[in-house]
Amino acid sequence: MSNEAERRILAVHLPSRDFLCTGCLAWWSRLTPYPCWQVDWATSRQSRSMTAALLGGRA
């Protein structure tokens, strides 16, 4: 996966007023609490990439 995929997920999967994931509701009609598993995945990938870049490695 690319950084672009992670950015797209984080741009769409946002919390609503009632703390549900707007992306999951729009895409799959699911009432999923925020953060959903896709947000968890995307943020962990971003963190891993930043840590690897800081340490001089690759993610």
Over residues 24-42, the pLDDT tens digits come to 999 999 999 999 999 999 9
pLDDT of residue 19: 95
CA distance 9 to 38: 7
Q: What is the mean pLDDT of residues 8-18?
A: 95
Q: Is the pLDDT of residue 2 over 90?
A: no
CB–CB of 42/10 below 8 Å? yes
Instruction: Give the mean pLDDT of 37-51.
Output: 91
Q: Which pLDDT score, from 0 to 100, does residue 56 have?
A: 84
pLDDT at 49: 84
Report residue 50 as tokens: 């930043």
Query: Is the whole model's pTM more than 0.95, yes or no?
Result: no
